[in-house]
Amino acid sequence: MAGPQLRTGAELHALVERLYPICRSITGDGVRQTMDVIGEHIALQRHEVPTGTAVLDWTIPQEWNIRDAYVATPSGERVIDFQELNLHVVGYSVPVSRRMPLSELREHLHTLPDQPSWVPYRTSYYAPAWGFCLAQEKLDALPDGEYDVVIDSTLEDGSLTYAEHVVPGRVTDEVIVSCHVCHPSLANDNLAGIAVAISLAQQLALSQPHYTYRFLFMPGTIGSITWLARNSGRIDKVKHGLVLACAGDPGPLTYKKSRRGDAEIDRVVQHVLRSHEHRVVDFSPYGYDERQFCSPGFNLGVGSLTRTPYAGYPEYHTSADNPGFVSPAAMEDTLGALRDAFGVLDRNRRYVNLSPYGEPQLGKRGLYDSLGGRSDAKQAQMAMLWVLNLSDGEHSLLDIAERAGLDFDIVDVAARALHDAGLVKE
């Protein structure tokens, strides 16, 4: 049964605020709590992959969970407190319970001297370590002396959690939409992406799409590697895909092309983004999980849509990436672009002209009359002529729209009218 619909930017933002306090990492209960919330809105198939499982060239690590962490004076005053902000602890920190001088503690403290009031986000996933993150101005105010250092965490065999939501289509060929769920209190990177993906899935389910859409919620890097390893036998079903991140900041939309550079998803998104403030960048093997989907052995047609890309805004991976940094309007704009892009992708067909010798008479079929009164009647007429001329089984509707300099929707309407008149077939 469908859960509560996320329709407005305000509802998307409210979900970001709800998810923000949860301490997530690449494994652990924080990821499961996040899946519980997502599962209130869309049905999820959850997977638990045990520690030690080989996935391509990687191995599922031990599971990390944390209950509390702090640095306190001997009198008990907490000067760094995980309960106040989960970014205060380096992700995957091993357990600690010691008293030490500030001079020794400093070796385990991380700050941002150029942004003295912000707390950085740091992790140590695959090497045993521990540490705290704090504002530089807070560190500067700490007096010399002894401090109690406690990290109440566990690092033990468990599993990696990821989840899938499938919107069935009329065909079994798939479009994947991937979001990472491994970051703790970071609103743009990537809670905004999660909220937008949920709403997109809900809206696609109402549209009875052509393609089957598979939404992936999983930890970054190791999650997509795990999914690819477990689905390598059916990877040929994946025809298109997008990695969604940083969906709520005030910057313009940025589309990063797939490794192929000319995949259908690349062309579709660029066509749609003409009506949005945007920029397009070429593929590089650094960034989010597009680099796994586009690794040479898979080479899938998967691009990445963000607003400001990773590391492209000062608030990235800091405490300043909070719910106040993302806006309802920006998330609505991202959602609208995705909805439009998948609308084009879903309707991008190839047709064959059934009357290819000379131009068929449109008037006697009522095709000219059907355009009467339309403000775009001339464009619609030209679209019919272009569809007839280029419907040779080789050109898609997007090819025709770009060749003719017309909006995709006008070309699609023309093709449907010609199809209904028996002049073209898929």
Q: CB-hemisphere CA count at 13 Å for 66? A: 29
Quote the CA–CA distance of 345 and 401 in Å, as a whole number: 13
Tell how many helices (H) and how many strands (E) occur in the chain. 12, 19
Query: Contact, 313 vs 229, CB < 8 A?
Result: no
Backbone angles phi, psi at 36, to 5 degrees: -60, -45
Query: Contact, 50 vs 39, CB < 8 A?
Result: no
CB neighbourhood size of 193 (10 A): 29
What are the tokens at 401? 């729209």
DSSP SS3 for 16: helix
Quote the CA–CA distance of 13 and 324 in Å, as a whole number: 9
Quote the CA–CA distance of 341 and 205 in Å, as a whole number: 16
Question: Binding site for Zn(2+): residue ranges?
Answer: 183, 189, 317
Question: Binding site: residue ranges?
Answer: 183, 189, 317
The sheet carrying 350-353 orders its strands as 392-396, 350-353, 424-425
Polymer length in residues for the chain: 426
Helix (H) or strand (E) segment spanning residue 160: strand 159-167
Residue type at 210 in one-letter notation? H
Query: Contact, 138 vs 81, CB < 8 A?
Result: no
CB neighbourhood size of 10 (10 A): 12
DSSP SS3 for 146: strand
CA angle, residues 327, 24, 178, in degrees to nearest 5: 65
Quote the CA–CA distance of 23 and 58 in Å, as a whole number: 24
Quote the CA–CA distance of 376 and 379 in Å, as a whole number: 5
